Amino acid sequence: MAANAVSLSISSPKTLHSLEAQTRGLIPPPTISFPKSSSSLSSTAISISRSRVRAGPSQLVNEPANAMATPPTIVEVDLGSRSYPIYIGAGLLDQSHLLQRHVHGKKVLVVTNERVAPLYLDKTVDSSVGGKTGINHRLGKNLIGAFYQPQCVLVDTDTLNTLPDREMASGLAEVIKYGLIRDADFFEWQEKNIEALLARDPAALAYAIKRSCENKADVVSQDEKESGLRATLNLGHTFGHAIETGFGYGEWLHGEAVAAGTVMAVDMSHRLGWIDDSIVERVNNILKRAKLPTTPPESMTVSMFKSIMAVDKKVADGLLRLILLKGPLGNCVFTGDYDREALDATLRAFSKS
């Protein structure tokens, strides 16, 4: 494996897959040895501090699904410039400790007091690959963040069996996204296997995760810092993030909001004449079969959508750029060159005036 590669292994009792995602600016991982006793570790540490995770003066917002039952212990240990933080699970902490390392160069080991956060499907197939970290702000989703590439990502698909059914369905929105924007064959496979994924069939899950991560890694290898191509991974997210922000973080799961946002993006693409009726029908059908919403909450209004999307990270020079489908299934564009009336018509069709 190349020295600058991120390795990702996806394992289940019956299936083992591996892939390499080439990314820029990475150094080979160091040789790691563990002390035989905790006293050895404490004698190595320059400073160890215990604290609670706080959210800043009413600005940073955690999502209830990712919240810990009890505050975690943060142990800060100076092991030299080539030490690496390791995080197990998903949620606010895995994003914030990487952001802290990026900004301050700290080496932080996060240990929960009561339990390890579960492995969510949407993070398995999306945020686990690519090195983008993000923290929610009261004004919008993931508005604070940085890029920090991991040396290795390991996925144990057995942990997905701990998820509630609603969380499992939520994660499928990110899987479906890859088929729509760049992998039509994968979308056709999803149409045949969506019930198997909901039932957590081990072989189907392993394949879907592998194929999703391969798609994500291929995009990131070409556009690590999201200057263009990587933005296409946000299909449905502009509308979806507005739903999460406007309706309240955690009221809808991320994948639920993305699903409704995807339907809105597809509707707008159709209004622009960029896709045919069959794609609209297929998208709505697979999301419904995945037990995901296809309309936003009734409380969302046109003005709420517009005000929240106005501060979306994809706004440039006052222009909201969107990811829309264009052409045959598996093709999309990231563009600000669209008829504004089509956007207004979609917002009116899916929300109150």
Domain ranges across the chain: 5-34+41-350
What are the tokens at 196?
């198997």
Rounded Cα gap, residues 216 and 128, in angstroms: 10
Provide the angle, in degrees to the nearest 10, between the axes of the packed helices 184-198 and 165-181.
Answer: 170
Which 8-state DSSP code applies to residue 252? B
Phi, psi of 133 (to 5 degrees): -110, 145
Residue of 6, 17, 234 lying closest to 129 (CA atoms): 6
Looking at residue 222, its pLDDT comes to 86
Number of H helices, E strands in the chain: 11, 12
pTM > 0.75:
no
**Residues paired with 137 in a beta bridge:** 60, 140
pLDDT per residue as tens, the chain (353 positions): 333 333 343 333 333 233 333 323 333 333 323 333 333 333 333 222 333 333 333 333 444 444 444 444 444 444 455 555 555 555 444 444 444 444 444 434 333 333 334 454 545 545 556 555 555 556 555 555 555 666 666 677 777 888 889 999 999 999 999 999 999 999 999 999 999 999 999 999 989 988 998 898 889 888 877 778 989 999 999 999 999 999 887 789 999 999 999 999 999 999 999 999 999 999 999 999 999 999 999 999 999 999 999 999 899 989 999 999 999 999 999 999 999 999 999 999 999 87
CATH assignment of 5-34+41-350, among 3.20.20.140, 3.30.70.2860, 1.10.540.10, 1.20.1090.10: 1.20.1090.10
